[in-house]
Structure 1
Amino acid sequence: MTALRRILAVLRKEIWQLRRDRLTFGMVVMIPLIQLLLFGFAINTNLRHIPAVLVDHSQSGLSRALVQMVEATQVVTFTERTVDVDEAERLIAGAKVRAAFIIPEDLYQRAVTSPATGFATPPSTDDVTARPVAQWIVDGSDTVVAGAIRSLRAMPLAELFRKPANRSVPTFEVAFYYNPEQRTVVNIVPGLVGIILTMTMIMFTSAAIVRETERGNTEMLITTPIRPIELMVGKIIPYMVIGFIQVGIILGLGKLVFNVPMQGTLADLFVVTLLFILASLSLGLVISTVAKSQLQAMQMTVFFLLPSILLSGFMFPYEGMPVAAQRIADVLPATHFMVAIRGVVLRDAGLAELSGHLWFLAGFAILGLIVAALRFRKRLD
């Protein structure tokens, strides 16, 4: 009975401590709740409304009917229109769209005569009677998106072109750019850079200020002339070096082990990675000014890590998420970094083509540093 009383005493103490530690109690409730909502509502592998660009060289009633038939599937939505194939390819490289639908000028002739030639890739050998009447150029780096576009080849085009049942069936030709072999690892490795940096950069820095407080160093800092912003910058510089080392390890092994291509320049990769590291570190510093212990700092890191994994486009395509989940994803640095690093590594996208995402990362980093410095000043006061 004495042992039981001691156990109950410790139990009451722990319950009382949990009641006082509202942040930890909140995490206990919020983490499973967020996971349930994310997996239940935000994750959808049945893609709809994939952004695409239309290149209609025919400009005929038949081509317009063909476009309407494609849009009726709701697999793609033509958000851009141009007559320049090169411009369409630049839009894909900059991640403005995921695919381009090219309708040739001689659309009707291709449908009623011999198999067409002159596309970027030869006709598929899956159906020897297939007659390509138009072409899809697809960002093949994301195999889920590529698979959704490829499914459009099975559309019933014979009825549109009034083809008899005993004649060859018109079809679409699909060319996969950046990942013609459709290897999933090509898309995973650059995305893994974002997830690992999110986890390590936020985790390292979120405990930085808290550790100083727990060790009693905060009182010593008060007596020094160092400014809060100077302290923040000094804290993050070592972790910046660590971040670049991690990037080198991931991409280097990705190239050696999995033969993941590196299409862009190292200078572009450096700029993109630097901005994301700064954004992640600044978020970690903000967390460190809120958390009261290193345990709380780690709990809050997990709170941001889960949405970054599930909503950033690392595991599931951004286009497959509901609008509400996309709006949440838009405020996560990892979402913008996924687009940027995959653009540089896989599609040779330049900084100008990715400028919108880069400006977001830069603004996030600056805002995070300012908020962390102000909160640290308040804590000292």
Structure 2
Amino acid sequence: MNSLRRIGSVTAKEFKHLARDRLTLGMIVMLPLIQLLLFGYAINTMVRNIPIAVVDLSNSAVGRVITEQVRVTQVVEITAHYATPAEARDAIIAGRVRAALVLPEDLPHRVANGTTVGQWLVDGSDTMVGSALLGLRQMPLHLEAGTPAGAYQAQAPSFEIALFFNPERRSQVNIVPGLTAVILTMTMILFTSVALVREREKGNMEMLITTPIRPLELMVGKLVPYIFVGTLQISIIIGLGWTVFDVAFLGDYLNLAVITFSFIGASLTLGLLISTQAKTQMQAMQMTVFVLLPSILLSGFMFPYDAMPVAAQYIAEALPATHFVRLIRGVYLRDAQLGQLAPDILWLLGFTAVMLTVATLRFQKTLD
């Protein structure tokens, strides 16, 4: 009986502690609520609205009919037109489109003879997107061919498919670069989210306040060691990806360094902002999980970004991991250049500046 009374006292004390800890209480309720609604709405394995380009060398009515029949499948969304296949390939490398439909000059003649009517140039580095576009290879076409047979329906595959960057359709080619973003997100944000909290819990904050160091200097000093940690981690990932999974790095190492430091800076400063908000290391870890799960599920690492609803895409765009997934796959697999990736790089740099400024201002307020 006394044992039950003591257990009841401890239980009551723990409930009171949870009730007073508003952040933990909010996480208990809001974490499953928000994430279930968000992910249940956003995650979609049925790939739709893949951005593609069209290169219609025939400039014919038949070409326009084929283009419209491809569009109404809703698997793709035509976002650009190019004059040559080379321009379309550059757009695929830059990540502006995921594929290009090339219709040859002799398209009416091909339609009349019942032969292959065009070619898909596909970014095969994302296997789910590649598989969705491969499904269009067998798409029947209903066209007026100008022959006695009247309407022509393709019996053989309607299009040829050229899979760039991953012709073998190996999932490791897509996963290894994406894991770089996930691992760095998890470690960089988690390490720095507990940085200031750890100083408070160990009683070192009072000593830091009495030193001449400025808040911005303290923030930068907290970040520098983890930049080297992130560099070591990405070196390990690339090395193991090459030796163990046979995923070769095709890009330029200088470009890799630029995008990696941009992303590390964004992740570290986000962790610092969390550190200025959390009161304990447990709270910091809980808040990190709140960022980590959307970064894994909405960044395009596991599920195609283009298949998400527009509202979910807006949320994904606010996450540094979304931009880095595009960058690392572009440099790692497609040898994309910095100029082609400039929008995502500039976004990460701007995010870093904003988060560092906000974290510094919040830290100054805690000194008052």
1:178 paired residue among 165, 169, 176:
165
1:34 shift after superposition: 2.9
The answer on whether the counterparts of 1:278 and 1:365 sit within 8 Å (CA) in structure 2 is yes
The answer on whether the counterparts of 1:201 and 1:284 sit within 8 Å (CA) in structure 2 is yes
1:222 correspondence with 2:196: no
Q: Distance in 2 between matches of 1:304 and 1:211?
A: 20
Q: Map residues 7-26 of structure 1 onto 2, 5 A cutoff.
A: 7-26=7-26
1:170 shift after superposition: 6.0
* Residue of structure 2 equivalent to 1:120: none
Q: Which runs of 5+ in 1 are unaligned?
A: 115-130
Mean Cα displacement is larger for which, 105-114 or 234-243?
A: 105-114
Q: Secondary structure at the match of 1:176?
A: strand
* Residue of structure 2 equivalent to 1:98: 98
Q: Secondary structure at the match of 1:350?
A: coil
1:6 shift after superposition: 1.1
The answer on whether the counterparts of 1:158 and 1:170 sit within 8 Å (CA) in structure 2 is no
Number of equivalenced pairs: 365
Letter in 1 for 2:123: D
Letter in 1 for 2:45: T
* Residue of structure 1 equivalent to 2:324: 337
The answer on whether the counterparts of 1:272 and 1:340 sit within 8 Å (CA) in structure 2 is yes
1:152 paired residue among 130, 133, 136:
136
Q: Map residues 130-209 of structure 1 onto 2, 5 A cutoff.
A: 131-157=115-141, 161=145, 169=156, 171-209=158-196
1:35 shift after superposition: 3.0
Letter in 2 for 1:87: E
The answer on whether the counterparts of 2:143 and 2:153 sit within 8 Å (CA) in structure 1 is no
TM-score, structure 2 normalization = 0.96
Change (3 A) 1:316 1:160: farther
Letter in 2 for 1:132: T
Change (3 A) 1:208 1:167: closer
1:90 shift after superposition: 0.9
Q: List per-residue Cα deviations over 1:177-205 (Å, max 9, x = no partner).
A: 00000001101000000000000000000
Q: Which runs of 5+ in 2 are unaligned?
A: none
* Residue of structure 2 equivalent to 1:316: 303
1:250 correspondence with 2:234: no
The answer on whether the counterparts of 1:279 and 1:361 sit within 8 Å (CA) in structure 2 is yes
Letter in 2 for 1:98: R
* Residue of structure 2 equivalent to 1:84: 84
Segments of 4+ in structure 1 off by > 2 A?
Answer: 111-114, 158-170
* Residue of structure 2 equivalent to 1:41: 41
The percentage of aligned residue pairs carrying the same residue is 57
TM-score, structure 1 normalization = 0.93
Q: Distance in 1 between matches of 2:32 and 2:12?
A: 25
Q: List per-residue Cα deviations over 1:7-28 (Å, max 9, x = no partner).
A: 1111111111101101011111
